[in-house]
Amino acid sequence: MITCIAIDDEPMALEVIERYCADSDLVDLKATFREPIKAVAWLSREKVDLIFLDINMPDMSGMRLVQSLSPMPMIIFTTAYSHYAVESYNLNAVDYLLKPIIFERFCTAINKAAKAISIQNSTDDDDKTIVYLKSGPLTYPVKRSDILYLEKDGNYMTVHLRGKRILIRENMSGVFDLVPATDFIRIHKSYVVAIKHVTMIEAHQLTVNCEKIPVGSSYRETVRTRLGLK
């Protein structure tokens, strides 16, 4: 069962989430909040797996709220505005639901969250987890824990390992189906890095296995939060 809360300044929006959660066998709604500051105070005492989060709210926006949380639960944004989608995915949101939310779309988002939790629960076995990287006619079995970072290369992606690179046909929209968002972070429009392999953090770049990797300006706040720097 996925434990969750909902934060939205609109009472009717919260009622929809409450009704959908009650009709789902996958989620347990612990609380709802109309004031983001009260939700942050509650989260300082309690822990949940997931937050349904509106973006435009008084006193504190949903984006700012996410950046204030450490550790950060999974996030499903709920909003009437589509133009926040790119920024939400920069924050590794599980999904982005446009209001008015229909139940079928809600279920799709919950299933994504359930899949993410399943991956997260398997991280203890990460050293044994094998991913199969298809490069042209060849397929390489690789320990997921050996992946240092991934680099976008047109319609392809280069997977960087120690002493080896593998070019696969993949794009950024599918990268977190390949590696878990709990252990990897997008730091640039072209780079996703393994948090465990970061050896040095600077204002505009990270070092992974002696390689300097740029941090995009729109990703810096998220990177600082995920790496515990604020």
Span 98-141, pLDDT tens digits: 999 999 999 999 988 887 777 666 555 556 688 899 999 999 99
Its pTM stands at 0.55
Q: What is the pLDDT of residue 190?
A: 94
Pairing label, strands 149-153, 191-194: antiparallel
Question: Can you tell me the distance from the alpha carbon of 230 to that of 227, in angstroms, rounded to the nearest whole number?
Answer: 8
Question: Can you tell me the distance from the alpha carbon of 216 to that of 56, in angstroms, rounded to the nearest whole number?
Answer: 24
Query: What domains are there in the chain, each with its CATH number?
Result: 2-121 (3.40.50.2300), 126-226 (2.40.50.1020)
Question: At CA 181, angle to CA 186 and CA 55, rounded to 5?
Answer: 75
Reported as a pLDDT band with limits 50, 70 and 90, residue 83 is low
